[in-house]
Amino acid sequence: MGPETSDDAGVYCLTPELALAETCDVITPPVDDPRQFGRIAAANALSDIYAMGARPVTAMNLAFFPACSQEPWVLAEVLAGGQEALNEAGCCLVGGHTVEDDEFKYGLAVTGTLHPERILRNNAARPGDRLLLTKPLGSGIISTAIKGEMAAPEVEAEAIRWMSLLNKAAAELMGNHNPSACTDVTGFGLIGHCCEMARTTTVSIVLQLDAIPLMGNLAALVGDGMVPAGCYRNRDYYTALLDSTPIPPERLLPLFDPQTSGGLLIALAPADADRFQAAADDAGIFVRPVGEVLERQSLPVCIR
């Protein structure tokens, strides 16, 4: 698997029973604390491997550091935060590379393993499947508010908690419940990733607006103008693929919000979805039903 389906990672088959899933992801700081930045960036990169149904095994750091304006300890803290997330994932750091740059960026190249017959694609959802999401939306809007010093401490703490959370537990549980498709919700926002799921297939994604979980205080932050430019870019690009009449446009902005280390969006048959939800509830794993998959409607994504 290469870039042709816009999947979350590439896959290279080594043997009939072993394949490599490979990804690379680099972000700018969504928060001020360097250790938290490192952990979030690592969780964000690992998420692509989990979305493919793979287990992360090795990683390499990629750091772009403004040495003229930042002290070395800041980079050390970022790398320590990344290492914490890798340790939690059971993923071995095997090296990396640092470049001096004007803007601070950090991420990782991650390799995972999986059976070639258990690859999870983003465009294999089937009519009748239900859609479940493993994290609430809002990290892009709240990160913008953090940079503008407009986020209340409890709202900032909630966003950091979700962005720092690995998708490991949800992915491992998902693997036991026959998912038909999966992707992680990141830079294209929920609607963008739903469009990726449906665009090259004969299905449409139908989302239930009131069922979509949101982080705290998003409506107020949107009202204050704390909306990242990427949210508007997503809206401008994906609106043509969206049937959302007659929902007010401002209610849809969180669904276009580019997420950092967002949740998994998983398609499962109804009985498997019920079992997955029950097992997640028992294990204390956040999972919410957000919609369903239908035969192709007028557009790839519908909001109801």
Question: Do 95 and 61 form a contact (C-beta atoms < 8 A)?
Answer: yes
Please state, in angstroms and rounded to a whole number, the distance separating the CA atoms of residues 86 and 164: 12
On whether both 110 and 134 belong to a single domain, the answer is no
Q: Which strand (E) or helix (H) includes residue 295?
A: strand 288-295
Record the pTM: 0.95
Q: With respect to residue 125, please indicate whether it lies within any of the assigned structural domains.
A: no
What pLDDT does residue 153 have?
Answer: 93
Do residues 111 and 149 both lie within one domain?
no
Residue 143 lies in a domain: yes
Would you state the pLDDT for residue 246? 86
Q: Which residues pair with 301 in a beta bridge?
A: 205, 242
**Shared-domain flag, residues 26 and 159:** no
Q: Which helix (H) or strand (E) holds 288?
A: strand 288-295
Domain boundary among 57, 90, 118: 118
Query: Is residue 124 domain-resident?
Result: no
Is there a single domain that holds both residue 143 and residue 76?
no
Residues 139, 259 share a domain: yes
From residue 35, alpha-carbon distances to 42, 147, 222, 223, 270 in Å are 11, 17, 28, 30, 40
- How far apart are alpha carbons 226 and 223 in whole angstroms? 7
Rounded-to-integer distance, Cα 23 and Cα 150, Å? 34
Both structure tokens of 177? 């419940």
User: Would you give per-residue pLDDT tens digits along the chain (304 residues)?
Assistant: 888 778 999 999 999 999 999 999 999 999 999 999 999 999 999 999 999 999 999 999 999 999 988 999 999 999 999 999 999 999 999 999 999 999 999 999 999 999 999 999 999 999 999 999 999 999 999 999 999 999 999 999 999 999 999 999 999 999 999 999 999 999 999 999 999 999 777 899 999 999 999 998 898 999 899 999 999 999 999 999 999 888 888 899 999 999 999 999 999 999 999 999 999 999 999 999 999 999 998 899 999 9
40 and 91 share one domain: yes
Q: How many domains does the chain have?
A: 2
Backbone angles phi, psi at 46, to 5 degrees: -60, -30
Under 8 Å between Cβ of 285 and 173: yes
Report pLDDT for 6. 81
Distance separating alpha carbons of residues 199 and 5, to the nearest angstrom: 10
CATH number, domain containing residue 16: 3.30.1330.10
- Looking at 118, 141, 169, the residue that finishes a domain is 118
What per-residue confidence (pLDDT) applies to 1?
81
Q: What is the pLDDT of residue 165?
A: 98
CATH number at residue 178: 3.90.650.10
**Domain extent for 242:** 130-303
List Cβ neighbours of 277 (8 Å cut-off, separation of 6 or more).
132, 287, 289
HSE of 235 in the Cβ direction (CA atoms, 13 Å)?
Answer: 16
Residue 199 is predicted with a pLDDT of 79
pLDDT in the model for residue 4: 79
